[in-house]
Amino acid sequence: MNTMKKLFGYICTGVAAAMLVSCNLDLTPTTSIAYDENGQLIQSEANLNAFRAGMFASYRSYQLGEFTTAEEVMTDGFNATLDYGNNYGGLHKTDYNFTAGDYYVADYWNYSYVGIKDYNILIANTENVPEQIKDAARAVQGEAYFLRAATYLNLARHFAKIPSTVNAEDRDKELCVPLVLVYDQLEKPARASVAAVYGQIKKDLDSAAVRLSDVTGKAGAMYPTIDAVNALYARYFLDMGEYGKAAEYAHLVIDTGAYVLSSTAKEMENEFEFDNGREAIYQLSATLTESTNSNTFWTGYTTDTQHEYVFRPYFIPTKTLVDLYEPGDLRLAQWFDNTTWCLVNATYSQGDYYVFKKYWGNPNLTSSLKNGRQAPKPFTISEMFLIAAEAYLAAGEAGKAKDDLNNLQVMRGASATDATEEAIRNEWFKEKVGEGFRMSCLKRWKKGFSSRPVQPGAAKVLNHGDVYDQKELPADDYHWQWPIPADERKINKNLVQNAGYDEL
């Protein structure tokens, strides 16, 4: 392998990933080496394994942490404490503070496109490989197609409108995100349409499905399987408003029987604390030495001389969220805490309000205190039950919707209800809280929110006012489409800004 090929092999394995902030880079000096898309970078099993490891490192880099927290605190599930220090301030307030310069928005865009760069390189360079590694390369190519589809769907959900909320004839006019399928350092792509981006997602899924058709799924699979592909199909068809297909693909996963909802406190603990349950369709690797993004803003867990261990949260759940759970709901007991001492604004309290601890941390991923690190689970069986219930109801099959909704409710220790829109939407809120789904759900339902009611006993530790607990965000507010990052638009003048934001 010549020097140029070695260089780009190292880039794809993630060694230089931090140096590449997006696919729009034209900052490279004219005397530097440019990437040559010759499709011959992978010439051995060692090459293939290195590229594959880098690809998954890229994908893991934008899971959990700020990449799920950001949209959660933007919506109606959490209130900012007096100690939150304006972390996620622009997103939480969604007023003039939320701009194209918001670094949480820029991170979401940049890390996603660094990943897409890696997937594009893998897809191109697994075509022309030696005969002895062709089968392995084809499977890795399928994984790359899957990751590219998943990444584009998440980008679209954040920076554009969801197709089912747009008239079919207008989807070619609505701007989405740049569609980059070949890595080119000098390219300055314009934004593609919603129709084009979702069309490419479907093509990538079709390619992944063929290449991963014989990769059988299992609970906690560390790499994409055919079940993960079908789960992403279900998510895709739900966004498209193709409800029969959404339910069909969700049930392709459910009906395997490979994934089981936790129904006891111990099973919930194994699943959501120790990352050793039976719900994850796809669960990324996480170790003490190769860990994941942290979710410390929810608990701020630390030692304290007065009470030994205390929570110091930046955000706590709203009354709206907490009140959705019945006393016997396993999720209330496992994901919320009102017994541990809390310290906010130099004031100790115990039992006054709930703290969110779903991502308190896996003790195996720290050498000291729990640090909010978990193994990312981008696809779980609970989402499949929710997609199936929502899709069946939208398709007029209320009986089937009720079956799927009740399966989830009963396993979690909640009362079985009729499958109404409200019941299904509440179950989405209760089940997927903290996982980065709330914004896309509210967008899909064309439903805003009118306030963030405060838990009784929490008023003294929270910020108050029209951008905090009294926040209103109507369904037609422009903030539901995040701004195109300012730095990207400085580099690439072809990028049109979303309506409502300054043209920076």
Span 442-493, pLDDT tens digits:
999 999 999 999 999 999 999 999 999 999 999 999 999 999 999 999 999 9
Question: From CA 424, how far away is CA 410, in angstroms rounded?
Answer: 14
Return the pLDDT at 35.
59
| Confidence band of 34 (pLDDT split at 50, 70, 90) | low
Per-residue three-class SS string for 320-339? HHHCCCCCCCHHHHHHEECC
Q: How many CA atoms lie less than 13 Å away from 413 in the CB half-sphere?
A: 16
Question: From CA 263, how far away is CA 329, in angstroms rounded?
Answer: 10
Question: From CA 88, how far away is CA 244, in angstroms rounded?
Answer: 37
| Mean predicted confidence (pLDDT) in 26-30 | 41
pLDDT value at 28 more than 80: no
Q: For 287-325, how does the pLDDT look when each residue is reduced to its tens digit (9 = 90+)?
A: 988 878 999 999 999 999 899 899 999 999 999 999 999
Instruction: Find, among 6, 211, 44, the residue nearest to 133 by Cα.
Output: 44
Return the pLDDT at 504.
55
Tell me what the pLDDT averaged over the chain comes to. 92
Return the pLDDT at 16.
36
Residue 226 makes CB contacts below 8 A (sequence gap 6+) with 209, 212, 213, 214, 215, 216, 217
Let me know if 291 is exposed, middle or buried by CB neighbors in 10 A (0-12, 13-18, 19+): middle
Q: For 215-253, how does the pLDDT look when each residue is reduced to its tens digit (9 = 90+)?
A: 999 999 999 999 999 999 999 999 999 999 999 999 999
Return the pLDDT at 18.
36
pLDDT value at 502 more than 90: no
Instruction: Find, among 418, 412, 420, 425, the residue nearest to 386 by Cα.
Output: 425
| Confidence band of 26 (pLDDT split at 50, 70, 90) | very low
Exposure string of 121-152, with b = 16+ CB inside 10 Å and e = fewer, is bbbbbbeebeeebeebbebbbbbbbbbbbbbb
Return the pLDDT at 40.
82
| CA distances (Å), origin 27, targets 14, 21, 488, 494 | 19, 10, 12, 16
Question: From CA 211, how far away is CA 242, in angstroms rounded?
Answer: 24
| Mean predicted confidence (pLDDT) in 160-184 | 97
| Confidence band of 37 (pLDDT split at 50, 70, 90) | low
Instruction: Find, among 46, 194, 190, 201, the residue nearest to 129 by Cα.
Output: 46
What residues does 178 pair with on adjacent strands?
A: 191
Stated pTM of the model: 0.93
Q: For 38-63, how does the pLDDT look when each residue is reduced to its tens digit (9 = 90+)?
A: 668 899 999 999 999 999 999 999 99
pLDDT value at 495 more than 60: yes
Pairing of β 302-304 and β 280-282:
unpaired
| Confidence band of 29 (pLDDT split at 50, 70, 90) | very low
DSSP 63-112: SSTHHHHHHHHHTTSEEEBTT-TTTTHHHHH-STT--TT-HHHHHHHHHH
304 alpha-carbon distance from chain centroid: 33
Please name the amino acid found at residue 241. G
pLDDT value at 8 more than 70: no
DSSP 190-204: PEEEHHHHHHHHHHH
Q: What is the DSSP letter of 37?
A: -
Q: For 367-385, how does the pLDDT look when each residue is reduced to its tens digit (9 = 90+)?
A: 888 999 999 999 999 999 9
